[in-house]
Structure 1
Amino acid sequence: MKIFKYLLFLSLIFIIGASIYIATKDGKFQVERTLMMEAPREIIFNEVNDFTTWKNWEPWSQETDDMIINYGEKTTGEGASYSWQSEKMGDGKMRTINAKPHSSLQQELTFITPFGESTSEVYWEFEPQGDSTLVKWGMMGEQTFMEKAAFIFQDESLAEMMQPMFSKGLNNLQEEITVKMNSYTINIDGITQHGGGYYMYITTASKISQVSDRMEKMVTEVGNFMATNNIEQVGKPFILYNEWNEDQGTAIYSAAYFTPSEVVTTTESSILNGFMPNQRTLKTTLKGDYKNLKEAWDSSYAYLQKNGLKAAENAKAFEVYITGPKDNANPAEWITNIYIPLEQVIENRND
């Protein structure tokens, strides 16, 4: 009996000692990973700011098939929330408590366990670096008594265990955004009558490979000239192709805006006035990056050939930029209309 009491006393001392050791052990932790992503920060921020997209790239739900996700009434911005349940990954919830558009996010992460709830702070920072963005994803908090007790017997700390998951999540996020940015559609809208009209324009010649880079500056130059001279712009900017030589790899093209009527300028300028006739055209719509324009043009000409239509020899094909980089950072949302003037149809009449 004395031996039993002695062992019980030693066990009690051990438990008290272990409890004191665990209680006094520093439970603060911080996990942080960064990745340079090839995308504008607006796109990355919007992806992370929307909880409905997290299932596409965060690593935890991808490692189990039993996760049930429930979204709050709000899923973006401050006050947005969602929760999950999983036997393998556990239960939890997250809420956005601060959102600075395109710059940073601060979120509250809560794990729900049989021993109670554990809350940590999750933070995101998005720093533009030229055409790319330095993305920082981190989590900081303090472990509960039971969590500290559990990790005493682990070879790795909580931070060391979480770091690979954060790295994987950032890589998944980059892949998801790349796929979304590269998505595009080409639609042959069919034959339509384009009203034409007077327009202000500037013309240049360059290698075909330089067209995309130059056209934005040219459109801006025409727009600034019209604004300075109080000339009204009608519709969206467009590029008029005067000559396109695939063999030599060169092009002559004009950037322009339509005007309500003919404009006669009194000062010498490289910005000129032109006129486009009302004409029958094949219209094609590209929704996506400008790098897909060649495929859209090829699809348009293939449609002409398949349907026995012929492009007008002396008319100039053109592109109208409905939305672009100034409207949306995501190239997948850019909309460009292509117009190819067609030969006039001559009807045969029997008298």
Structure 2
Amino acid sequence: MRILKYISLLLFLFFVGLSVFVSTQKGDYDVTVSKVIKNPRGIVFNYINDYKNWETFCSWIKNDKSYQFNYPGLTLGQGGSCSWTSSSSEGSIKTITVKENESIFQKMKNNEAPFDMYWSFKDTVGGTKVTWRNKGKLDFKNKVAAFFSGGIKSVVSAIYEKSLENLNSTLDYEINTYSIKVNGITTLPGGFHLKQYLHCKQKETEKNVSILVSRMEYFFDKNKLRSNGKPFIIYHKYDRANNDVAFSVCMPVKDSINIMPGSDIQSGKTASYTCLKTTLVGDYSHTQKAWKKALDFVAKNHLERNRSGQIIEVHKVGRKDVINPSKWVTEVYIPVYPKAIEVKEEAATEETTTAADTPIEPVTPANRKLVQPN
């Protein structure tokens, strides 16, 4: 018994000494990791620039299913932020400065411990070189974990290196896997909606659509409004030659809603008209490919565009429904005058692209079919 008491006392003294030793060690660290991501710089930058995408690649999030995120109206670009709670942590992150396609600076708190994050993006052979620098201070719990795992820098580096590996594999599949299908002529029903208008350059369209859709969804959640469908985009102008785009991000509602004067949210109403429907399954970055396939269909089948109507995109399944971009569904509606048309079978075939494939060109069978307006 006396031996057991001595052993217990020695173990107690050992752990007390270890605790004192670890607590007196500096928890400060400055770690930089880099990796070549096999995607263009713009795609990589835009993906990292939106906190709603971080759940798909951050290793500490993917390994802990207890994380619960709170996303405000703005999660993308300068001023974007989010917060979270989990079984082991509580924190928040905010983007301080952004240099488009070049760098991002963010400040994060995790269990009150502050961190600074710096991202840089450079074109290189094979894709984009992403450099991720993290400066921070570990709390006692993480210092103990780091002590038994080879040191602070070793632990932090491993976490961020794994996250960049996840980012590379996620983008390789999630962004590059998509399919486009021309569904045929249908009737797009009209109705009431709330909308927010924006005028911007063509290259800024995808980013701004994402921002405004998030803001509109947040507006509905905050004001406890009930939507009557999925968010959609009305394109009032799309002038590629002059790099000029005007659009409204809309949320359908059952009845007309009066909005206070001075608000950037307005009430609106769309009329019902006949359209050519095309469906994109995949990331929003492929919407212009869906437009092209639809417009080629219009030209090949001698359909007459209805210029009094506007091209509409409906986000049937979006990031609020599922975090995987490869599973998002966007419906593109191009107004045309209703009539029966004779078209080749290729117009209704599906174009599918995955990370391992190149785009599949539609084939042209000998038979033809009659497509009637719905």
Give the conservation status (yes or no) of the 8 Å contact 2:259–2:265.
no
Q: Is the 8 A contact 1:45 1:101 kept in 2?
A: no
Q: Partner residue of 2:237?
A: 243
Distance 2:165 2:197 in 1: 44
**Cα distance, 1:290 vs structure 2:** 1.6
Structure 2: runs of 5+ lacking an equivalent: 1-32, 38-43, 68-116, 120-129, 133-161, 341-374
Q: CA deviation at 1:102?
A: 8.9
Distance 1:130 1:339 in 2: 41
Alignment-mate amino acid for residue 213 of structure 2 = V
CA-CA distance at 1:234 after TM superposition:
1.1
* Post-superposition CA distance 1:94-136 (Å, at most 9, x none): xxxxx52398xxxxxxxxxxxxxxxxxxxxxxxxx789898xx
In structure 1, list runs of 5 or more residues that go unmatched: 1-33, 50-98, 104-128, 135-168, 347-351
**Aligned match for 1:43, one of 48, 56, 75:** 56
Asked if 1:211 corresponds to 2:205, the answer is: yes
Contact 1:186/1:285, CA 8 A, preserved across alignment: yes
- Cα deviation code 1:1-53 (max 9, x no counterpart): xxxxxxxxxxxxxxxxxxxxxxxxxxxxxxxxx8756675543579xx8xxxx
Does the alignment pair 1:286 with 2:280? yes
| CA–CA separation in structure 1 for the residues paired with 2:171 and 2:210 | 23
Q: What residue number does 1:90 align with?
A: none
Matches of residues 122-133 of structure 1 in structure 2 within 5 Å? none
- Does structure 1 retain, via aligned residues, the 8 Å contact 2:319–2:328? yes
2:312 aligned to 318, 325, 329, which one? Answer: 318
Deviations 1:187-216 (CA, angstroms, capped at 9, x unpaired): 111111111201111111110111111122
Aligned position for 2:266: 272
Partner of 2:333: 339
Aligned to 1:190: 184
| C-alpha contact 1:45 1:102 (8 A) present in aligned 2 | no
Give the stretch that moved more between structures: 291-300 or 302-311. 302-311
Task: Evaluate the alpha carbon distance shift between residue 215 and residue 178 of structure 1 in structure 2; reply closer, same or farther with a 3 A threshold.
Answer: closer
Instruction: State the AA in 2 paired with 1:254.
Output: S
Shift of residue 236, structure 1, vs aligned partner: 0.9
* Alignment match, 2:172: 179
Residue 174 of structure 1, CA deviation: 6.5
Give, in whole Å, the separation in 2 of the partners of 1:257 and 1:226: 9
Q: 1 CA distance for matches of 2:173 and 2:294?
A: 24
1:301 equivalent in structure 2: 295
What amino acid sits opposite 2:280 in the alignment? L
The amino acid of 1:221's aligned partner reads R
Contact conserved, 1:318 with 1:339, CA < 8 A, in 2?
yes
Aligned to 2:255: 261
Describe the shift of the 1:345–1:211 C-alpha distance in structure 2 as closer, same or farther (beyond 3 A).
Answer: same
The count of aligned residue pairs is 220
Aligned residue type for 1:100: D
Contact 1:222 1:257 in 2 (8 A): yes
How far 1:287 moved relative to its partner?
A: 1.1
TM-score, length of structure 2 as denominator length: 0.48
State the distance in 2 between where 1:262 and 1:327 align: 26
On the 8 A contact 1:191/1:283 being kept in 2, the answer is yes
Q: What letter matches 1:101 in structure 2?
A: K
Which residue is 2:64 aligned to? 100
Q: Is the 8 A contact 2:228 2:254 kept in 1?
A: yes
From 317, 327, 330, the equivalent of 2:324 is: 330
Q: Which amino acid aligns with 2:329?
A: I
**In 1: Cα distance, 2:307 partner to 2:326 partner:** 33
**Closer, same or farther: CA 285–130 of 1 in aligned 2, 3 Å:** farther
- What is the match of residue 215 of structure 2? 221
| Residue identity opposite 1:311 in structure 2 | R
SS at match of 1:294: helix
Computed over aligned residues only, the root mean square deviation of the Cα atoms, in angstroms, reads: 4.3
The answer to whether the Cα contact below 8 Å between 2:273 and 2:309 also exists between their aligned partners in 1 is no
> Could you say what secondary structure the match of 2:299 adopts?
helix
Q: Deviations over 1:259-311 (max 9, x none)?
A: 10122334442221111112111111111122111111000100111122122
SS for the counterpart of 2:337 is coil
Deviates further, 337-346 or 271-280: 337-346
Residue of 185, 192, 200 corresponding to 2:194: 200
- Taking the aligned partners of 2:293 and 2:322, their CA distance within structure 1 comes to 25
Give the fraction of aligned pairs with identical amino acids, expressed as a percent.
Answer: 24
